[in-house]
Amino acid sequence: MKQIRFPADFLWGAATASYQIEGAWDEDGKGESIWDTISHSKGKVANGDTGDVACDHYHRYKEDVALMKQLELPAYRFSIAWPRIFPEGRGRINKQGLDFYHGLIDELLANSIEPVVTMYHWDLPSALQKDGGWENRRIIDWFTDYAQVLFDNFGDRVKYWTTFNEPAVFTLRFYTSGVHFDRKDRRAGFLASHHVNCAHAKTIQAYRQSKFNNGSIGMTLNLGHVYPKTNSEHDRAAARTVDTVLNRWYLDPVLKASYPEEVLDYLAREYDLKIAAADYTLLKDNPMDFLGINMYSCFRPFVNSPDEVNNVEAIMRNMSSCRNENAQYTEKGWEICPEALYDLLLRVDGDYNHPVIYITENGMACKDTDVRDGVVQDDDRIRYLSDHFKAAHAAIAQGVKLKGYFVWSLLDNFEWLDGYAMRFGLLRMNYKTQVRSFKKSAFWYRDVIQKNGI
Ligand code: NOJ
C-alpha cells in the first residue's frame, strides 16, 4: 500500500472541551454555567446525565497528560471554562480557576505537548445568560475582558488560541432547538452570531496589543460540504441555501469581513435587523491568523417541491429523514463521507484566498463493544480517521495550507444532549471507576504520529 507523509511541521493532536471532561462543576469557586443549568433540568440530557463529574479531569489532569505523553501527542486542544475564571462572567476573578489552567499548561509543556486553547466552548456563565447572553451586545466587552485575562495569564506559554468553537451551534442551534433555552427565537440566534463575530474581532485586537502576542489566533467553525442530492435545478438551489446559511454565514464575516447578501436581505425583511457600518470596519481591521475547521460529515439537501428551495427548516427535515443508501453512518447518525473533507478544504482555500487551516476536530462515535484483552477493537474508527487523513493529505498536495489535525476526542466524554451514550474517544472511559484505557485507535494514531503519515 502506498505510504503518505505529511509536511514536517504538521501539528498532530487530540481535542477536548472543559464541560465535557472536567467535572468539579461547583468546586474551587467556579460559577454555574448554562450547561450546569441545562444538564440539571429534567428531561433534557439523555439518561439524565450531567457533567458534574464527567471524566474528573479537573482532579486527574496530571494522569491525563501522562496518557497524552504515552500517546506521543505533539499538541492538545482544550477549552477554558469562563465561569472558573469569572464565576459571575465579569468583575471578580477567581484565582483558583486560573491556578487550575496554570497547572494544566505547565504540565503539558513539561511533557513537550503544545497547548492549543479554545476560549469558549459553549459553557457560558449562567449569570451572563440571565443578562441576555449572546443576544446582549454588551457581551462583546464581557468576552473581550475575559480574553484579556487569559492573554495576560497564559500568553507567555500558549501560542495557539481560538476564540470560539462552533458558533453555528451555540447561537442559531441553541436558540432554535427549543431545548437549550426553552424557547425558539431565530432572530436572537442571528443577532447572537453577529455579536460573536464582533467579540472575536475585538479579542483579536486585544491580542495584537497584549504583552505576549507572538502566537496565532483563529476561530473554529463547524462546516460541512454540501452536495445536492440530485442534479435537479431545485435540489441545486436547495444546496446553495444550505451552504449559505450553514457555511457562508459563518465563513464570510471572519474571512471576508462581510455577510452573504441573501441572508442580510432576509434579516432586514423578516426581523428588521441591520449590521452597523462600524461593525464591518471592526471585522475588516482585525483579521485572524488561521481558520479552525470541525468536520464530521457532509450535507445532501433536496426538496419535495420548488417552494422549499429557500426553506432551511424544510430542507434540514428532508435530509434528516432520508438516508443515503450507498453510505455508512456513525453512531451519531452522521453519514461518513471523507471525500467531503477534500472538497471542503479545496472550496475554502479557493473561495477565501488560501487561509491557513487546522482541522480542530474530526472523529467518530462508535459502538465500541468489541473488546479483546481489555482493548476496544475500534477498527471502524481507525478506518474513518485513516480515510479522512488521506483526504486531508490529498488537499495539502493541491496546495491547501492545512497545518495540523486534531482528533475528537482524546477520551470518551459528555456528548452534550446525548450524555455519555456516545463514545468518540481514542481512550476508553469507564465512568464508574474513572479508569482510562487505550483503544486500538489510540495505538494506531500513535503510529501515525510517529511516522508523520500512514
Ligand atoms: C463538535 C463539538 O465541538 C464537540 O463539543 C462535540 O463533542 C463534537 N463535535 C462531537 O459531536
Distance 59 CA to ligand 1 centre (A): 23
C-alpha cell at 265: 436581505
The ligand 1 atom at the shortest distance from the C-alpha of residue 415 is: 7
pLDDT digits (tens, 9 = 90+) for 344-395: 999 999 999 999 999 999 999 999 999 999 999 999 999 999 999 999 999 9
Digitized pLDDT (tens) for each residue of the chain, 454 residues in all: 689 999 999 999 999 999 999 999 999 999 999 999 999 999 999 999 999 999 999 999 999 999 999 999 999 999 999 999 999 999 999 999 999 999 999 999 999 999 999 999 999 999 999 999 999 999 999 999 999 999 999 999 999 999 999 999 999 999 999 999 999 999 999 999 999 999 999 999 999 999 999 999 999 999 999 999 999 999 999 999 999 999 999 999 999 999 999 999 999 999 999 999 999 999 999 999 999 999 999 999 999 999 999 999 999 999 999 999 999 999 999 999 999 999 999 999 999 999 999 999 999 999 999 999 999 999 999 999 999 999 999 999 999 999 999 999 999 999 999 999 999 999 999 999 999 999 999 999 999 999 999 9
Confirm or reject CATH 3.20.20.80 for domain 11-451, answering yes or no. yes
The ligand 1 atom at the shortest distance from the C-alpha of residue 294 is: 1
pLDDT digits (tens, 9 = 90+) for 121-161: 999 999 999 999 999 999 999 999 999 999 999 999 999 99
Q: What are the domain boundaries of the chain?
A: 11-451
Peptide bond into 232 cis (omega under 30): no
What is the C-alpha to C-alpha distance for residues 221 and 197, in angstroms, rounded to an integer? 12
Distance 249 CA to ligand 1 centre (A): 20
Of 22, 135, 166, 308, the active-site residue reads 166
- pTM comes to 0.98
Q: Clarify whether 361 is annotated catalytic.
A: yes
